[in-house]
Each structure stands twice: as C-alpha cells, then as structure tokens.
Chains A and B, each alone.
Chain A
Amino acid sequence: MKSAVVLLPGLNRDRDMIAALTKISGTPPVTIWQTDTEIPDVDLIAIPGGFSFGDYLRCGAIAARMPVMRAVAEKAARGVMVIGVCNGFQILVEAGLLPGALMRNTSLKFVCRQVKLQIANANTMFTRRYQPGQIIRSPVAHHDGNYFADAETLRRLEGEGQVVFRYAEGTNPNGSINDIAGIINSQGNVLGLMPHPENLIEAAHGGSDGRALFESALGIAA
C-alpha cells in the first residue's frame, strides 16, 4: 500500500504523520506540496495536523482553497482513502469533503491531553482492526475541535453510521455535539478526526492504541 502526506505552510504534525506511516507500512509516504495539482498513484492520502496559514479566517479555510485540495477531492471521488487529523479534519470540512464545521472549544481553551475514544463504527476501512464499541486512548491538541452540524446532517450522520469515533467516559474536551470526535463521508473513504492516532503507535509513545487505524487503512495484519 502506498501513501502520501499533504504539506501546507503552518502544519506541524507532518513529521509525526510521515513517521507513523513509514513505521507501520514500511515505506515512506510521498509528500505533496500545496501547489501540486497532481497526486501520484497512492492508496491513502493523509492531511496532518497543525495550524495551516496560521488559522487565519477560519481553521483550515485557506488551506482548503489551495490547488492541492482540488487534486485530493478528485482522488477522493475515485475512491482513494483520505484521512485528515486535527487541522487536517478542519481542512476536509472546509473543503466540503466532510459535512459540518469545527468551531472554537466551548471552554475557549486550547486542550492538550489524552482522551478516551469509543469506536462508534468498526465497519469502515479505517477501523476494521478495532472491535465495535472498543474504548481506546488518544491524545488531542486543539483549540477548535467543537464539531457542529445542523439537525438534519446530524441525523444522517448518526443514522448512516458515519460517526466513527466518539469521546468516551466524559472525556469530551471541546463540547462537540453528540461527543463526535471523528466522522466519515457517505462513500466511506474520507475520514476526519480531531484526535491524533499517529501519536500513539509504539511503546515509546506510552501505548499503541492508534496503530490499528493505520493498519486498517493500509491493510496490514496486526
């Protein structure tokens, strides 16, 4: 399985994402710059976390209008897997590849801590190596992770199993509606989540709860 990582000015978790993909798949991902209009033939495109364009206007808003995102949208439409983590999730909703919006945390504080996540749908390309309902640990680090969608969108997301990760056991760090931490598109190949699974993949991280996400997507046996 081949992967690619999107690079934009202001992202700062790109090295973590590259390290995770390299360690888990055995092959370094190709990197794509914001002005690139073509993406090589890959199975998975990852948009890492950070503060693209300084979070100007709205988190992810400027990044979502860069040429590379048109290329990502074309790949997504053809079924290529896309994962956006943290700022990457914000970019995917701003680009319209995922529904809803990510707003300022209700606490108004930047949260940097470990939360618990429930696997709300283990029947996706990204979560098939987890058990349904399984609780895993994951770090979060964000200021704008408060997921919002209108009532109709929310009903559709809940009804179609598009809510993939939920903050569990009272650990919702941002006021996100229905404790939503991560969602998938209706085609099932574009995933966005605020937590950072790439930061919990080996013993040196204090655990490897995030590893199965990449193993699921990359089709690697645990």
Chain B
Amino acid sequence: MIKARITVTLKNGVLDPQGKAIEHALSGMGFDGVGQVRQGKVFDVELAESDKAKAEADLKAMCDRLLANTVIENYAVEIA
C-alpha cells in the first residue's frame, strides 16, 4: 500500500479572505512580524497500489479531476 499526502494551495494572485482573517487574528494575538497567511488543504490518501509511478499518476488525476480546482488552486503530491 502507498500512502500519499496531497497539498492544495491557492494560486498566487487569487484573493484569500480566510487567510487574510487568520493573518489579522495572529497579529491581534500579539504574534509580531506575521506576514502574509494563505490557507490551504491537506489530503492523506491511502492507495492499494505498489507501483509508485502508477500511484503518482493516479493521484495527479485525482487532483485534476476532484481534489483541486485548477482554476484557482495548485497542488503537490508527496508519496511517503
């Protein structure tokens, strides 16, 4: 079995109101020097597959077709 971690982040230039709110909250809590905060998503996926290359191709297809909205989001696939 292969375990993978998929990270989905907003593309540069896409406004992230939630990240902004978190950024302001952190500053308000007294954490000095907080710059930009961007919020993203993490998916831990288990795959019944032994071929790493095949798993990676499948995981990328999952990102393209469901896990990420590539209009606004980038993704990264990391196989443990």
Check A61 against B71 for contact (C-beta < 8 Å).
Answer: no
A66 to chain B, nearest CB (A): 12
Contact A105 B17 (CB under 8 A): yes
A175 CB to closest chain B CB, in angstroms?
7
Cα of A57 to Cα of B69 in the assembled complex, Å: 10
CA distance A98 to B19 in the complex (A): 26
Q: Assess whether A104 is in contact with B71, with CB atoms less than 8 Å apart.
A: no
Of listed B15, B17, B18, B21, residue having the most chain A CB within 10 A: B17
Partner of A108, one of B17, B69, B71, B72: B17
Q: Is A37 an interface residue (CB 8 A)?
A: no
**Interface contact A61-B69, CB-CB below 8 Å:** yes
| Secondary structure call for the B interface | helix
Asked if B15 contacts A108 (CB within 8 A), the reply is: no
Residues of chain A contacted by B67 (CB below 8 angstroms): 57
CB-nearest residue of chain A to B70: A101
Q: Which one, A57, A93, A108, contacts B21 given CB within 8 A?
A: A108
Contact (A101, B71) CB under 8 Å given A106-B17, A108-B18, A148-B14: yes
* Total chain A interface residues with beta-carbon distance under 8 A: 20
* A65 (CB) vs chain B CBs: closest residue: B66
Q: Is the CB of B17 within 8 A of A104?
A: yes
B72 surroundings in chain A (CB, below 8 A) = 101, 103, 148
Once the chains are docked, how many angstroms separate the CA of A70 from the CA of B59?
A: 22
In the assembled complex, which residues on chain B have CB atoms less than 8 Å from the CB atom of A106? 15, 17
Q: Which of A58, A65, A149 contacts B69 (CB 8 A)?
A: A58
Interface string of A73-93 (1 = CB under 8 A from B): 000000000000000000001
Residues in A with CB closer than 8 Å to B69 are 58, 61, 94, 101
Closest to B18 in A: A104
Q: Mark B32-71, 1 if CB is under 8 A from A, else 0.
A: 0000000000000000000000000000000001110101
Cα of A24 to Cα of B69 in the assembled complex, Å: 36
List residues of chain B with CB under 8 Å of any chain A CB.
14-15, 17-18, 21, 65-67, 69, 71-72
Additional pairs, 12, CB under 8 Å, beyond known A94-B69, A103-B15: A57-B66, A58-B69, A65-B66, A93-B71, A101-B69, A103-B72, A104-B17, A146-B15, A148-B14, A148-B72, A149-B71, A175-B17
